Amino acid sequence: MSTARLEQRLHEFAAQGVRIVDPRQTFIDEDVVAERVRPGATLHPGVRLHGARTFLGEGAQVGTEGPATVRDAVFGAGASVASGYVEGAVLFPGASLGAGAHVRPGTILEEQASTAHAVGLKHTILLSFVTLGSLINFCDCLMAGGTSRRDHSEVGSGFIHFNFTPWGERGDKATPSLLGDVPRGVFLREPRIFLGGASGLVGPGAVGFGGITGAGQVVRKPVGEGRLSLQPIRELDAQRDPGHLDRAHPRAERNVAYIGNLVALRAWYRHVRLARATGSLRLVVQAGIDTLTICIAERVKRLEAFLAERGEAMPTLTLEPPEAGAQGCPLRGALEGAAAEDHITWVQALDPASVQRGISWLRSIADSVAG
């Protein structure tokens, strides 16, 4: 792009109400659609925007603490990234990424979810309020829990989700971990989860609501609800077998459970969140639906390869179960006339009976994926 053309584009964006703090240090590629960068969005010095899918809602902030590149990512109103690289991710209103973020496709941060500095995410889904500390690699996870920004699930600094195993010819990534769950987690009423810092979790793992893992350990076994877990390391020094394959089970079942939760979350977005959304939020929710479809396909692909190497058939998965249709949603009555309320206020005001019906609906979707 020529200098003259870049200056013309920057002027066009500024004229429609986009705040460009220093045009001399800002780049907007030709494929960025002007109408998808809304008035009130702010581009700080060192920002580069790329991609026809890129969307910045009202009040979105890019590069508040340093250079930032955004490629085909969707930022809801007031969402922000301090600095770093964000590609193909969806940030709901008020979500935020700290300095030095490295965020890749398949990532969703719901309202008020956040990270501190130097956090890497890929195919990671954080439900509302979930908070990640600094110096974290947290790929191929879904995390829920908590009721507010003062009572939220959290991952301590220096944490790694180990999402690769070396077994087989080339290793595998059939390793997604479920921290909390979707059927209960989306209603924002569950006890928070805390994963202690300077630690790791070997996928595919699971931690129940209210679970706490102590700092300075590698968690290899599932942690139950409301449990405090410290897992000692077993000493091992054995000859390595180059042809070794770990067992297909229970890893396969954990993968299927994870896929079921993704399908349930997609139904929640389609028939609850999209039904309530207005304005630019509809675009953000639809981007979330599209991202979940990508995540589901990725997890099915990884599971299929994992099982094939072990000589096992891929189970038949129902990725569009009948229960996931609009007619199955038990919250249709509660959706009427509720569009004016923000999502968190609305969902936390639901009466207990509606919540229980919603949980049962979403659980039936997750369970029916595996038949």
What are the pLDDT digits (tens) for 190-218?
A: 999 999 999 999 999 999 999 999 999 99
Q: Each residue of 110-169: pLDDT tens digit?
A: 999 999 999 999 999 999 999 999 999 999 999 999 999 999 999 999 999 999 999 988
pLDDT bin (cut points 50, 70, 90) of residue 340 is low
Relative to beta strand 19-20, strand 42-43 is parallel
Name the pTM for this structure: 0.96
User: Residue 107 pairs with which residues in a beta bridge?
Assistant: none
Mean pLDDT, to the nearest integer, of 223-231?
A: 98
Mean pLDDT, to the nearest integer, of 6-29?
A: 96
Ordered strands of the 124-126 beta sheet: 55-56, 74-75, 90-91, 108-109, 124-126, 141-143, 177-179, 206-207
At 338 the pLDDT is 61
At 337 the pLDDT is 62
Q: Would you tell me the crossing angle of helices 280-309 and 251-268 to the nearest 10 degrees?
A: 160
The Cα 298–Cα 306 span in angstroms is 12
At 86 the pLDDT is 98
DSSP percent split of the chain into helix, strand, coil, nearest 5: 30, 20, 50
- How far is the CA of 240 from the CAs of 61, 106, 171, 243, in angstroms? 50, 34, 14, 9
